[in-house]
Structure 1
Amino acid sequence: MSTTSEQPQVATHQVSNRWISLFAISWLGIWLAQLTPFQLTLPEQVNDLLGLDGNNLAESQWHRSVIGFGIVSGVSAIFALIAFPVAGSLSDRTTGRLGRRRPWIFSGVALFAIALVLMGFQHTWVGLAICWSLVITGFSVASSALTALISDQVPVYQRGVVSSWVSAPQAIGVVIGVAVVSLLGLSPIPAYLLVAVLLVVCTLPFAFYLQDPPVGDHGLPSFNLRSVWNELWISPLRERDFGWTLLGRILVNIGNALGTSLLFFLLQFGLHVADPADKVLTLTLVYTVCVVIAALVSGRLSDRLRVRKPFVLGAGVLQGFAAIVIAIQPTLTSTAIAAGLLGAGFGCFLGVDQALATQVLPDAATTGKDLGIMNIAMAVPQALGPLIGAFVVAWFGGFTALYVASAVFGILGGLSVLRVRGVR
């Protein structure tokens, strides 16, 4: 590997299929390790602390479960809010022999894996909140470095395809992780150990394969936490396209989080189906298949057609329509149809949005920091979704309001891309 210091520059050479494959496997490990606990083991630990049976929650109890889970997840969202831009800004300034982004992949994955193992031994609210916040911090550091590589090394005409391999593993990883942990009947300690091992196994090959030559001093000021914090608010306001892209990402992700995070409770207490756990698995598979197909197809098409905005607009509208289907006709059949539409809409968004984000960045020298800010809009809505959703259902007395809110956020998120001027 070359060790010659280089200045950051726009990527012009196409990345190889091997690069993309190892990159995709890295994301599979990251999503599996983050979403499996989020969907399965963390809620189980919360229910244990509350003294509740997660498989037989009474209607008067599920709000307690979701709010308890939401509080732990909400605390971690604060850490994500800080970790994403800070890690990105530090990686922009890294000039050591290991390269610009690689040290942050290694350190993020290490913290991520260690914190996952520690999660299995927690039996208090404080312990859960601290360790899960460390998990999300490690996830944020590693994700920040990996997404910055798209801007560093992938030419614009290939970013749709590469971005789709960030998003498709998200849907695949959660299904694989939940299925393996459930089928093996793993308790929290072995479950967390398993996903930690899979995280390391999936991410290290790409980290070692990566050509990440050191970048010399390119005129950035010394790292300052206050300036990074200020940039959280200044960049979106100062850079029009950056701000509208960020807003659209926030809205679409909140809409998706509201539409998916309380699915089990919709089936059990809204539709009163006899076997909600089995139906959740079926609907999740429908959703996942549609996410993966839509992400891969939209990413490739957006590269070929050299356009991003129509895909993001269509994704937001389709996601909103899916939520309206449930709000108007809440049946098991309509929910299954909506799961497919929601998956297709969100997959189309995921397949193109990351590529769009890399094309509205203000400065090639600060891509890590700016993409870190963009990534907040992916992680924080997911973390807060269950808590926000529980309050919407409680305040408005039913699930109809939840899916109306999901539809409004999705459609507004899609429409916001029309305000972006610098990208077609």
Structure 2
Amino acid sequence: MTAPSPSSPPAAFTLFAEPKRRVTGGWIALFATAWLGIWMAQLTPVQLLLPTQIDSLVGSASGTDSVLAFGIISGVAGAFALIVYPLTGALSDRTTSRHGRRRPWMLAGTLVFAIALFLMGLQSTLLGIGIFWSLAISGFCMVSAGITATISDQVPVGQRGFVSGWVSAPQALGTVLGLALVLGLTLGVFIGYTLVAVLLIVLVVPFILLVPDEVLPKVLRSPLNLLALVKGFWVNPVAHPDFGWTLLGRILVNIGNALATTLLLYFLIYGLKRPETAQEDLLLLTVIYLVFFIAAALGFGKLSDKLGRRKAFVYVAAYLQAVAALLLAFIPDFSIAQVAAGLLGLGYGCYMAVDQALATQVLPNTHSRGKDLGIMNIASTVPQAVAPLLGAFVVAALGGYTSLFVCSAIAAVLGGLAVIPIRSVK
């Protein structure tokens, strides 16, 4: 990482230096609560509301038309994420607001996300759904880019595995709570979207208001022009190989996970032929996934801090996901799906916590943490967005859900291999 030069103003040495002071339990609680709201608002639509809304418009006996429509809409939203994530990170690195660098972007993203979700519930055409889901994902990218950057800004390296676990654990919990509220209260699509939008604001705003965000003096701001922004989006993998390998591994593992999970409702309905109980089955599988995910994210994240090692955890986690996908591929039974859900939660929970910590340790430059983590976050979000389209193609053209889960396993295995060449982190 690049350190401030001896001629830099004194503020640079504290603003851009690696943090040393451990964050408090209160900080972590606010951080985890914010991520609970973010994940609930993003994953409840992905897992239930969005496919249900689309299926009601274009459903067919085989489900292929609905899956394709879901995939196309998710793919378009993914294209927006590809731009918004690094752009927000780069702009927040240069923001000199008296309220801090990250805070204005977290607040703006939360509002865009919530409003777009509310308007999603009013849509009755695929075009409208596509437009407002793309806006919702853009808001998601803005708020998550800002809050992720606070890990590198404020959390010391020796605490990042545990803190990153609190990015990951709320992911599973948020999905389960969102599904449980929508299904348990028998809410319609509009009320479901409105509920997660309100909860997003309620859960994220306390972190934005209460956690300090250091102000960037204007003298330290990097050049703010289109050329500088565009050039900054390219991180040379030859000059920074550890960053490149981490990014590649993250893309592959997240594609593998997304292929195994984003079409799960369709798999239950059309693959296992359980249309009458599909939503309840989805909730059960998600609860199983939740238990193992949270235990792995918090337990292995903290253990990786204690041992000072990341790579072995990431490697094994990727292979656990591959095993889960292969079980779904070759033993298409609901009981086996429950076992696979546990393995997938165990593997992905460990991966998300430890890989997030690893990612913060391979950033090329301390001055551009927000932008570089924005690029890393693309590797988490875009696979979730494009997987439905890729998965729909696999299901339609390559032999159904068996091929889908085999592709998921292959991606996870390759993602695990990508961490081996990393040298700067054990």
TM over 0.5: yes
Query: Closer, same or farther in 2 for the Cα pair 1:221/1:213, shift >3 Å?
Result: closer
Residue 227 of structure 1 deviates from its aligned partner by 4.0
- Name 1:58's counterpart in structure 2: 61
Structure 1 residues 261-300: aligned runs within 5 Å: 261-273=262-274, 275-300=277-302
- Name 2:126's counterpart in structure 1: 125
Query: Closer, same or farther in 2 for the Cα pair 1:270/1:128, shift >3 Å?
Result: closer
AA matched with 2:242: D
8 A Cα contact 2:242 2:362, kept in partner: yes
Q: Deviations over 1:301-334 (max 9, x none)?
A: 0011111001000001111111122223332232
Q: Which moved more, 1:409-418 or 1:365-374?
A: 409-418
Q: Deviations over 1:279-310 (max 9, x none)?
A: 22222211121111111111110011111001
Q: 1:101, 1:16 → 2: CA distance?
A: 19
Matched, 1:251 2:252: yes
Identity of aligned pairs, percent? 52
- Name 1:111's counterpart in structure 2: 112
- Name 1:26's counterpart in structure 2: 34
8 A Cα contact 2:233 2:371, kept in partner: no
Aligned with 1:23: secondary structure? helix
- Where does the alignment leave 5 or more consecutive residues of structure 1 unmatched? none
Residue 178 of structure 1 deviates from its aligned partner by 1.4
Aligned with 1:313: secondary structure? helix
Q: Which moved more, 1:107-116 or 1:363-372?
A: 107-116
- 1:326 corresponds, among 305, 328, 336, to 328
Query: Closer, same or farther in 2 for the Cα pair 1:218/1:169, shift >3 Å?
Result: farther
- Name 1:192's counterpart in structure 2: 193
Q: 1:220, 1:244 → 2: CA distance?
A: 29
Q: How many residues align?
A: 414
AA matched with 1:228: L
Residue 189 of structure 1 deviates from its aligned partner by 2.6
Q: 1:44, 1:266 → 2: CA distance?
A: 14
Q: 1:340, 1:301 → 2: CA distance?
A: 20
8 A Cα contact 1:101 1:145, kept in partner: yes
8 A Cα contact 1:261 1:385, kept in partner: yes
Residue 382 of structure 1 deviates from its aligned partner by 0.5
8 A Cα contact 1:86 1:225, kept in partner: no
- Where does the alignment leave 5 or more consecutive residues of structure 2 unmatched? 1-10
- Name 2:101's counterpart in structure 1: 100
8 A Cα contact 1:236 1:246, kept in partner: no
8 A Cα contact 2:47 2:265, kept in partner: no
- The CA RMSD over aligned residues, in Å, is 1.7
Residue 106 of structure 1 deviates from its aligned partner by 1.0
8 A Cα contact 2:19 2:154, kept in partner: yes
Q: Which moved more, 1:245-254 or 1:36-45?
A: 36-45
Task: Tell me the TM-score normalized by structure 2.
Answer: 0.93
Q: 2:298, 2:331 → 1: CA distance?
A: 30
Residue 226 of structure 1 deviates from its aligned partner by 4.4
Aligned with 1:106: secondary structure? helix
8 A Cα contact 2:71 2:386, kept in partner: yes
Structure 1 residues 35-114: aligned runs within 5 Å: 35-50=43-58, 52=59, 58-59=61-62, 62-114=63-115
AA matched with 1:20: I
Q: 1:112, 1:270 → 2: CA distance?
A: 33
Residue 101 of structure 1 deviates from its aligned partner by 0.9
8 A Cα contact 1:85 1:228, kept in partner: no
Q: Deviations over 1:43-66 (max 9, x none)?
A: 22212332x3xxxx522xx11111
Query: Closer, same or farther in 2 for the Cα pair 1:75/1:277, shift >3 Å?
Result: same
8 A Cα contact 1:218 1:365, kept in partner: no
Aligned with 2:424: secondary structure? coil
Q: 1:328, 1:277 → 2: CA distance?
A: 23
Residue 277 of structure 1 deviates from its aligned partner by 3.0
Q: Deviations over 1:125-149 (max 9, x none)?
A: 2221111111111110110010000
8 A Cα contact 2:173 2:290, kept in partner: yes
Q: 1:369, 1:78 → 2: CA distance?
A: 17
Residue 196 of structure 1 deviates from its aligned partner by 1.3
